[in-house]
Chain A
């Protein structure tokens, strides 16, 4: 009798723990999705800014059509990417193309004084840093989620219910990782 009660209590405790672990895994997975949608919002925002930027630069530098083409192409490609890995690679190309666009703008003093261009430049810089922060937040959450699936004892639950590890959002190019050089 006493033994049965003890056994029952132990089973109940284990079941309760399992439920807790399962729930925290689900919570973390939802948090990952939410963090990814944050990244997505900022990426879309950047896609929306690019046509305006291209139009503004075109008004001053008609002859640089090669650069415009490259930016537009990179944008289309980036918009089609879905998984974090694809997005990372496409973003890399897009960032490079945008850099050459701004390099072109450097040669036109009138353009650099244009109020609209300055505003777009600030918006783009702001959005890029937001992408970086959203990426950082996403990667932190993914790390927590993946860790939970690897450590004992929650890995048992993760295996039982076939939780999958999430992909990190990585940008290959070192230079694209944000401001490294700051002059004081």
Chain B
């Protein structure tokens, strides 16, 4: 357990480090092409640091924003709050804030950069369809993600991998379609620019599997099994989560606000398109049947 926490913190730090280096290189390279010289170098450092700090401190808000989640009060959802507060006591962490997605699909996720600033988010469909023991199982699963610092890593992955993917895509396009003209005016020598263009293209081509690797960082089948096991330990009732998982997987409705970047956050893949062996290899979650079987063996 503590090993898992240490590993998650280390991976999160590595991710932020990689992000800083990447943004720095990208900005600096861009400014080099524009001919900004030494001043550009300083600016690149500033840009990289600001973006990393912004990404680190705002990542949970960004994730909640993408997912169309809204904060709710205890008066509005006393049931949800009581379950969350109870399990926070059991886990010995401060009670996370509660968010709700207005969607009839059944799913849940947690986010935040540390246990003190954590958020648990569930869909209204989940609240309607699960009974108390099942909801406790799901919330306990999310609580374990919070306690293990899984949420920090997973949230950072959404934002940072997202920015990297977006930027490389954008750079690639701008170099291909518009950048060439501007550069030949400012720097002259179209032969050199041509060569740089090829280099950039190559670099970005190399980068895309790298981005995939980052996302893989967050996706770990072991992580989900561990959270399931800790959930059972918190509630002392593995059948609750098992039954919840069965209900969620029986529900074929995809969650509209989820996408490929945030899918790994949820308790069960919200895209609901897992079919065949290849998808099983690359899927973000272990198959539900395996998780239920593991819970039932406890």
Shortest CB distance A55–B (Å):
19
Structural contact, B237 and A134, CB atoms closer than 8 A: no
Choose the segment among A4-12, A66-74, A84-92, A118-126 that binds chain B (4+ C-beta atoms closer than 8 Å). Answer: A118-126
Is the Cβ of A126 less than 8 Å from the Cβ of B79?
yes
Please choose the segment from B13-21, B33-41, B86-94 that sits at the chain A interface, where 4 or more of its residues have CB less than 8 A away. Answer: B86-94
Residues of A within 8 A of B132 (CB): 125, 129, 179
Query: CB within 8 Å of A: which of B112-140?
Result: 131-133, 136
Query: Contact check: which of A35, A123, A125, A133 meets B87 at CB < 8 Å?
Result: A133
Q: Total contacts A to B, CB within 8 angstroms?
A: 51
The interface size bin for chain A is 10 to 19
Q: Tell me the residues in window 13-42 of chain A with beta carbons closer than 8 Å to chain B beta carbons.
A: 35, 38, 42
- A155-184: which residues lie under 8 A (CB-CB) from chain B? 179, 182, 184
**Is B71 an interface residue when CB atoms closer than 8 A count as contact?**
no
A42 to B89, CA, bound (A): 10
Q: Please, which residues of chain B bring their CB within 8 A of the CB of A38?
A: 89
Whether A130 sits at the interface, judged by CB under 8 Å, is yes
Contact of B89 among A119, A122, A125, A133 (CB under 8 A): A133
Cα(A35)–Cα(B90), bound, Å: 10
0/1 string, B60-101, CB within 8 A of A gives 1: 000000000000000000110111011101111000000000
Q: List 21 A-B contacts (CB under 8 A).
A: A35-B92, A122-B78, A125-B82, A126-B78, A126-B79, A126-B83, A126-B86, A127-B82, A129-B82, A129-B86, A129-B136, A130-B89, A133-B86, A133-B234, A134-B90, A136-B90, A137-B92, A179-B132, A179-B237, A182-B133, A182-B243
Closest 7 CB pairs of A and B: A126-B82, A133-B90, A130-B86, A133-B89, A129-B86, A182-B133, A133-B86
Given pairs A123-B82, A126-B82, A127-B82, 7 additional interface contacts (CB within 8 A): A35-B92, A122-B79, A125-B82, A125-B132, A129-B83, A133-B89, A133-B90
